[in-house]
């Protein structure tokens, strides 16, 4: 793995603390544990088992239900497909449930809060992250992992790479449905250079300090954030 100075968040689980830092400090570089074949096999085994179980439990009833609701709410396909980067910078087709009206800017203009392209059902799917349910199939196929740096659409990736050095190092591992940056509060579209570098710092920390325990911690915190977000919106 390429050795570069890594920015270190002052508190990897504190959004306020990270954004308060004006300049990231260099970290001593350590090889990624995922550079070892046995660790990649272990992570792949967990991904395969987890995605298979989730698809068996959710796809037979939840996916058809959401498909009907999406079609009733707006015209267009149920699924949204977009090219994104996976490990080693290769492109793959990322699947999501469609949350916007069909438009010609889906691959060039990121979605933002209050975006008029978002449908009423789409707003609910985005709030609950159910729009990412089909990405379990991406995990099962091996393009993604349950946990890892979030993949961005190609246009966004080019922008972020121009604002943060070594951004392509995120491609050292498979992208994930959720990740360390997301549980730290870095979600949604942004063009803020400080936030982009902070996200990168979390992603690189994850890559260089991966462990099954860290994956479990991120997964549990993701579940807790979803429960808390849904509860807050409901009240």
Summarize pLDDT for 98-135 with one digit per residue, the tens: 999 999 999 988 888 889 999 999 999 999 999 999 99
**Is residue 9 a part of any domain in this protein?**
no
Tell me what pLDDT residue 13 has: 46
- Enter the DSSP assignment of 87: G
Whether 201 maps to a domain, the answer reads yes
Q: What pLDDT shows up at residue 27?
A: 43
Question: Is residue 135 one of the residues assigned to a domain?
Answer: yes
pLDDT of res. 60: 97
| Any domain includes 85 | yes
Best CA proximity match to 202, nearest among 224, 178, 226: 178
pLDDT given for residue 229 in this prediction: 72
Three-state DSSP at 201 gives helix
Domain span holding position 46: 36-234
Residue 126 lies in a domain: yes
Confidence of residue 7 (pLDDT cuts 50, 70, 90): very low
Could you tell me if residue 27 is inside a domain?
Answer: no
Rounded Cα gap, residues 28 and 37, in angstroms? 23
Instruction: Identify the three-state secondary structure at position 85.
Output: strand
Task: Count the domains in the chain.
Answer: 1
Task: Place 183 in a pLDDT band, splitting at 50, 70 and 90.
Answer: very high
- Alpha-carbon dihedral 112, 116, 121, 124, rounded to 10 degrees: 30
| Residue 97 covered by a domain | yes
Residue 28 predicted with pLDDT over 50: no
Mean pLDDT of the chain: 87
Position 228 scores a pLDDT of 80
Question: Is 207 inside a domain boundary?
Answer: yes
């Amino acid at each position: 793995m390429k050795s570069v100075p890594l920015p270190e968040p002052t508190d990897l689980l504190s959004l306020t603390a990270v954004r308060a830092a004006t300049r990231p400090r260099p970290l001593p570089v350590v090889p990624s544990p995922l550079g070892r074949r046995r660790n990649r096999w272990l992570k792949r085994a967990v991904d395969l088992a987890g995605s298979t179980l989730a698809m068996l439990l959710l796809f037979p009833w939840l996916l058809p239900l959401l498909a009907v609701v999406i079609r009733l709410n707006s015209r267009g396909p149920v699924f949204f497909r977009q090219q994104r980067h996976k490990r080693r910078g290769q492109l793959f087709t990322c699947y999501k449930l469609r949350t916007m009206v069909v438009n010609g800017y889906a691959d060039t203009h990121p979605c933002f809060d209050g975006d008029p392209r978002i449908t009423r059902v789409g707003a609910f799917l985005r709030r609950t992250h159910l729009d990412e349910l089909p990405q379990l199939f991406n995990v099962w196929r091996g393009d993604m992992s349950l946990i890892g740096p979030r993949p961005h659409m190609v246009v966004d990736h080019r922008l972020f790479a121009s604002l943060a050095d070594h951004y392509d190092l995120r491609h050292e591992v498979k992208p994930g449905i959720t990740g360390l940056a997301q549980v730290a509060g870095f979600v949604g579209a942004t063009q803020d250079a400080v936030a982009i570098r902070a996200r990168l710092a979390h992603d690189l920390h994850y890559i260089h300090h991966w462990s099954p325990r860290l994956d479990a911690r991120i997964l549990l915190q993701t579940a807790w954030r979803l429960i808390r977000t849904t509860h807050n919106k409901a009240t």
